[in-house]
Amino acid sequence: MGEAALSADTVIVLDFETTGLSPDYGDRAIEIGAVKLVNGEITDRFQQLMNPGKRINSFIENYTGITNKMLGKAPPCKDVMLEFSDFIKDYNLVAHNASFDSRFLDSELDRVKRNQHGPFACSMLISRRIYPDAPNHKLGTLVKYKALPSDGTFHRALADAEMTAHLWLSMMTDIKQDHSFEVIPFTVMQKLSRTAKNAVSSFLQRESANQ
């Protein structure tokens, strides 16, 4: 991907809807949505329901709006994940609560003998550092807090991925304005998610000075 891959504005932002909280307990993905950002612009999207081979419970149906009837018509997980693996290639990856999505990505790709090579950054952890005054750091709350684009749909994979992409770009814009970055490396965003809240300003000042 060249030099653009080093920048935080060239990433794939993804979101899974799933049968439960963890693949360690047999939970599976039922929908994947993703947005490709290149130089801060949305250039491509990916969205697909996937049939996990078992019924989902009524809580998940009500939470996501995805029904067993919809999944019965969807392609199996393996077909979708092979296609998605080709879509993400070796791009850097972003998710809101990346520990959740990365586990499902790794689990589903492992089932089809594929690996993803791009590292993850977590927009939720970063938002806690950049927007400490937000009421909380759930995606829906941050969308309202920053007046980000939204059609009002939540807990569907592509809609959540799109909102996360807008949040990601908003955070980078605010960091650039406050700390004089010309380009924000992806590694800086990763490190920021692990920086103590009281050290965020000094960390960003130091990183921008090193450009």
Work out the mean pLDDT of the chain and round it to a whole number.
94
Report the 3 state secondary structure along the chain: CHHHHHECCCEEEEEEEECCCCHHHCCCEEEEEEEEEECCEEEEEEEEECECCCCCCHHHHHHHCCCHHHHHCCCEHHHHHHHHHHHHCCCCEEECCHHHHHHHHHHHHHHCCCCCCCCEEEHHHHHHHHCCCCCCCCHHHHHHHCCCCCCCCCCCHHHHHHHHHHHHHHHHHHHHHHHCCCCCEHHHHHHHHCCCHHHHHHHHHHHHHCC
pLDDT band at 119 (very low <50, low <70, confident <90, very high): very high
Phi, psi of 15, deg, nearest 5: -150, 135
Say what the pLDDT of residue 168 is: 98
Express as a percent the part of the chain with pLDDT over 70.
98
pLDDT band at 154 (very low <50, low <70, confident <90, very high): confident
pLDDT band at 151 (very low <50, low <70, confident <90, very high): confident
- Span 188-205, average pLDDT: 97
Asked if residue 4 has pLDDT above 70, the reply is no
The pLDDT tens digits for 60-79 are 999 999 999 999 999 999 99
Alpha-carbon gap, residue 206 to 202, rounded angstroms: 6
Chain-centre distance of CA 97, in angstroms?
A: 7
What would the two tokens of residue 9 be? Answer: 């504005």
pLDDT band at 153 (very low <50, low <70, confident <90, very high): confident
Say what the pLDDT of residue 3 is: 42
List the one residue out of 1, 10, 2 whose CA is nearest residue 183. 10
In the chain, the domains with their CATH numbers are 2-209 (3.30.420.10)
pTM, two decimal places: 0.94
pLDDT band at 120 (very low <50, low <70, confident <90, very high): very high
Q: Are 31 and 48 in contact (CB under 8 A)?
A: yes
